Amino acid sequence: MRKLREDRGMSQQALADHADISKPTVQRIEHAQAAATLDVLISLARALELSLRDLVDVPFE
């Protein structure tokens, strides 16, 4: 998700604001310290202007 966010020129705070979640939640998801719920994934996909499928179909690096 970090690459998707950075490709859009978004900070973690900007993504959190657009997805209506906290910045620590974004950080934990990006660092694989927490799993996102379906509701959070949908919010993130909308904030990143992606389909849910495109959000979760990103290869891990």
Is the per-residue pLDDT at 1 higher than 90?
Answer: no
Q: CA of 49: how far to CAs of 14, 27, 33, 34, in Å?
A: 13, 19, 24, 22
Looking at residue 61, its pLDDT comes to 60
Q: What is the pTM of this model?
A: 0.87
* Residue 48 pLDDT: 97
CA distances to 4, 27, 28, 48 from 36, in Å: 16, 11, 9, 15
- pLDDT tens per residue, range 18-50: 999 999 999 999 999 999 999 999 999 999 999
Quote the distance between the C-alpha of residue 53 and its chain's center: 13
Q: What pLDDT is attached to residue 56?
A: 87
- Domains, the chain, ordered by start: 2-54 (1.10.260.40)
